[in-house]
Structure 1
């Protein structure tokens, strides 16, 4: 299903001219070898361009549309018209001169096979270069001495003849297209993607730009051990994919991953999304609604479009007609050595995904502090609430990111790992932040539990709730306020010492806290003492005479929500005054 969706996306992009045709792909190039008609290397020219990375402007390789490179593992395999110095010049600094010479000979053989009968001065110049070039004299060649260190670093090189790149020469391009279309070196099998019979690829092209994977690329489809194979088939013949389909799905996926504006990171998972019809507007709206991406349009336009699409109505945004019934795909990939793991692959209508995302945001809605600048909580912000921000590695648990996103987009139960992560951070830091309180509220609204009734899962304080754990949390917040009022500027409050034990074993802790509060109340003026006395008395009347000896994890969630609601209510009243 993943490969079919990506292949269809490639066809759509190819028909609109937005992506490379079969046999061609975008390659990053650093230098051009300028050659004469007799094959003489006249000059080496840098083709790098200035690019902004962070606050710096650096020189980076220039993307060019070139013949699709082969996938290398440990063997010798040459590329056409573009490769590193080992293949095009026969020199490198890897300390294996015999293998480097084999690379050059393989590259020479490939170019002689493809360009021998091509009637073009550019093609003949390349052939003359390979016939006359002597790798053993490269180190002393004057054209290479200027940029020798950069060449040894491994950047890609291309040929330039008579002021133009050789790969842009039409007869040369036609020679490559003919070679690519007629190359039938695999067994004849039925393609699992297209359903057509023909030669299948043994090794698929690499997927690049997945966070944590090898920079040279990783495989999405790969069989590398006998345990994964069957019926005597080797490598990717166990999942037969035609040459066209292998090129199409890898090119489409690399195209998606190269678009930084629409690639999202969640833990170790790299997420891309696309509509069946293509177009950036679908991606822009989903990125804003779910991943917290910077909006490309005004907030009013986005909210209006979101509401209409969730109600099943088509809308016009940025001169594009958005159809709520358009098929939409979301793919999550994680690194696994030289291969990729599919964390999730979700397919649904665009409107259904938006409805699920909006329902998730409604469950998260909770009163927020004035310093909090987030109108809604994006996915990455939620995951951050489960991580120790003082640790060196601030990545959430590897599986949790995919599980949470899948639950949101399919509108199913949230994973227990999300609740456990939040509970651990609250116990470790004694802090109930807006994000953590929102997660508790959303989790128990979706994962219904009898110990967490709906009366505590409100946006703001519910003073009418009779839930004992919820009111214990409220009482703890008031007792903390009493201590802070009696000791202005105090660094350590009862929250730092008693929060965990109060939420777990209230029968042991609260008598101590109430006794301590009486001493603090004596330090306050009459008006403030009466104000707090009334609040404490009102809550104690709801709690009864006996405190529960122990609270389970869901009841502790109610306690934490009560504490958060009461604390935010206190700050809101100060602002009103």
Structure 2
């Protein structure tokens, strides 16, 4: 709730209280345990309100120029007039009724705080007595809600239909079937996880809306409450692409509290937290359990993303802590590569995905790609082909700093996981650093390109643009079109070098690489283009390490 209308026991208006607190760059309303909301959608959504709380359109009929707000307010007043005696006897509820009876609403609408309310998207509010808790949180109201689960909202869109009973798809129990499910806040909106739009082709065998997938009221209440709780928990929620990912273990565990740290970008106030947890993960390989946890403890991971009208399940994974720890350990192992000391020891998923997104912008991360990547990590299966396509595309489109360490690590991880899963390939596993014996033509061509670039740099100190800017894309995709010219250009560059020992070393290195190549192929497939990038990266890193040692 973002705002509370404060009144006294006689229903007289006192003020409007702003509950919001600054979290990051956003103002977030305070969380209260309230009577549950109910699903409402379509042209008659205004006819449904919640018990003693809702948004400003219902409580105050604002903005007045919005016809829908007026209808919502009428629904709210009607719901209040129909409250049972066991609620109206409560001092807080009685004060709310007096507030409207004595037209104290006019004072609330005239309050300076109303401007803030109207500026707030989905401005949820309720009433509070002076020096008391919100009215929906009062003991008598809570007892009423617990006793009458279905009374937690006023679903006026029932159109006089009789409630139906049936067998619950989730529990197998018999009970009253929910027609419309409650909404869950996700992204910037609140949507339903289970829903069938009325009269739009989903009705079958005479069944409408929620009756197509029968779930009883107690089950619906349980899953919505649990999901809402998890989504509000910073400790059990993280964002993977556009997917709000929640996770929990069967019993309390260190793995549950540390899980997000394996994947999230490091916090500024504790930048080493993630690294320490990953090291603990590798230590757990020796003991067979993660930080004294029971390795057989069940662990659950659910990825949800907002869609037009409903919540999309991006991934759903169930396993033991031991199974997930092993797979996540393998994920980090696959990403190990030689790199400069200033690079992070481990990369967050966000950083990996940003480095393959257009313009290195997180908003350009393809939503399905992030979820498919996470699913592969958790299942221990090959990464999606779209991941390799994306990183190759970014490398070819960049003009500077094409093969960054993080991109090289991603290509290595993709290829090694693929070859591990499909071993009948004529490929050798990619090492973390330069492998002169790598049999891949693409890898050796990448090495050759790095050597040719190095010769050009040594021959022209301080050069602004090298063959990398002009020819990398063609060299890795269609080698035959550029390498003959690059080889001829190399002779010109070698002739400019004054250090003859350096010339001999370059000639020896070129001879070693060329001995692994029969000819220059017309084109390289996607995997070979990835190996080209790795050969280029490894050879460049070898040059850098030699320079550091010198």
- Alignment TM class, shorter chain as reference: 0.7 to 0.9
TM-superposed deviation, 1:90: 4.4
Cα distance in structure 2, aligned partners of 1:286 and 1:346: 14
Instruction: Find the counterpart in structure 2 of residue 371 from structure 1.
Output: 342
The answer to whether the 8 Å contact 1:502/1:510 transfers is yes
Q: Decide which of 20, 24, 31 is 2:4's aligned counterpart.
A: 31
Instruction: Find the counterpart in structure 2 of residue 557 from structure 1.
Output: 530
1:109 and 2:81 are equivalent in the alignment: yes
Cα distance in structure 1, aligned partners of 2:27 and 2:386: 43
Cα distance in structure 1, aligned partners of 2:483 and 2:130: 87
Cα distance in structure 2, aligned partners of 1:362 and 1:109: 64
Cα distance in structure 2, aligned partners of 1:87 and 1:505: 65
Partner deviation per Cα, 1:10-38 (whole Å, 9 max, x = no partner): xxxxxxxxxxxxxxxxxx1412231333x
Please give the residue correspondences for 1:105-504 in structure 2 after superposition, counting only pairs within 5 Å: 105-111=77-83, 115-116=87-88, 118=89, 120-130=90-100, 132-134=101-103, 138-139=105-106, 141=107, 144-153=110-119, 155-161=123-129, 163-165=131-133, 166-180=135-149, 186-208=163-185, 210-211=186-187, 214-215=188-189, 217-225=190-198, 226-278=200-252, 281-291=254-264, 294=267, 302-303=277-278, 305-307=280-282, 309-310=284-285, 313-316=288-291, 321-372=292-343, 374-389=344-359, 394-429=363-398, 431-448=402-419, 453-454=427-428, 457-504=430-477
Query: Aligned with 2:364: secondary structure?
Result: coil
- In structure 2, relative to structure 1, the CA distance for the partners of 1:290 and 1:325 (3 Å cut) is farther
Cα distance in structure 2, aligned partners of 1:234 and 1:100: 25
- In structure 2, relative to structure 1, the CA distance for the partners of 1:90 and 1:341 (3 Å cut) is closer
**Total equivalences in the alignment:** 526
Instruction: Find the counterpart in structure 2 of residue 8 from structure 1.
Output: none
The answer to whether the 8 Å contact 1:114/1:179 transfers is no
- In structure 2, relative to structure 1, the CA distance for the partners of 1:239 and 1:472 (3 Å cut) is same
The answer to whether the 8 Å contact 1:413/1:447 transfers is yes
User: Once structures 1 and 2 are overlaid, which stretch shifts more, 460-469 or 302-311?
Assistant: 302-311
- In structure 2, relative to structure 1, the CA distance for the partners of 1:547 and 1:174 (3 Å cut) is closer
Cα distance in structure 1, aligned partners of 2:471 and 2:425: 22
Partner deviation per Cα, 1:176-224 (whole Å, 9 max, x = no partner): 333336789731112222222111211111111x23xx52x10100011
- In structure 2, relative to structure 1, the CA distance for the partners of 1:241 and 1:266 (3 Å cut) is same
Instruction: Find the counterpart in structure 1 of residue 158 from structure 2.
Output: none
Instruction: Find the counterpart in structure 2 of residue 84 from structure 1.
Output: 55
The answer to whether the 8 Å contact 1:314/1:324 transfers is yes
- In structure 2, relative to structure 1, the CA distance for the partners of 1:427 and 1:42 (3 Å cut) is closer
Cα distance in structure 2, aligned partners of 1:50 and 1:380: 27
Cα distance in structure 2, aligned partners of 1:290 and 1:145: 46
User: Once structures 1 and 2 are overlaid, which stretch shifts more, 332-341 or 225-234?
Assistant: 225-234
Cα distance in structure 1, aligned partners of 2:177 and 2:35: 19
Instruction: Find the counterpart in structure 1 of residue 493 from structure 2.
Output: 520
TM-score w.r.t. the length of structure 2 is: 0.86
Partner deviation per Cα, 1:338-363 (whole Å, 9 max, x = no partner): 21111111111111111111112212
Instruction: Find the counterpart in structure 2 of residue 17 from structure 1.
Output: none
The answer to whether the 8 Å contact 1:91/1:138 transfers is no
Q: Decide which of 492, 501, 504 is 1:530's aligned counterpart.
A: 504
Query: Aligned with 2:532: secondary structure?
Result: helix
TM-superposed deviation, 1:245: 1.3
The answer to whether the 8 Å contact 1:387/1:395 transfers is yes
- In structure 2, relative to structure 1, the CA distance for the partners of 1:206 and 1:331 (3 Å cut) is same
Query: Aligned with 1:521: secondary structure?
Result: helix
Query: Aligned with 1:260: secondary structure?
Result: coil
Cα distance in structure 2, aligned partners of 1:475 and 1:182: 74
TM-superposed deviation, 1:44: 1.7
Query: Aligned with 1:241: secondary structure?
Result: coil
TM-superposed deviation, 1:424: 1.3
The answer to whether the 8 Å contact 1:32/1:47 transfers is no
Q: Please, what is the CA RMSD of the aligned residues?
A: 3.0
The answer to whether the 8 Å contact 2:2/2:30 transfers is yes
- In structure 2, relative to structure 1, the CA distance for the partners of 1:512 and 1:107 (3 Å cut) is same
TM-superposed deviation, 1:268: 2.3
Query: Aligned with 1:228: secondary structure?
Result: coil
Partner deviation per Cα, 1:470-526 (whole Å, 9 max, x = no partner): 222211111101111111121111111111222233334222112211211222222
The answer to whether the 8 Å contact 1:112/1:127 transfers is no
Instruction: Find the counterpart in structure 2 of residue 20 from structure 1.
Output: none
Cα distance in structure 2, aligned partners of 1:350 and 1:186: 42
TM-superposed deviation, 1:296: 9.2
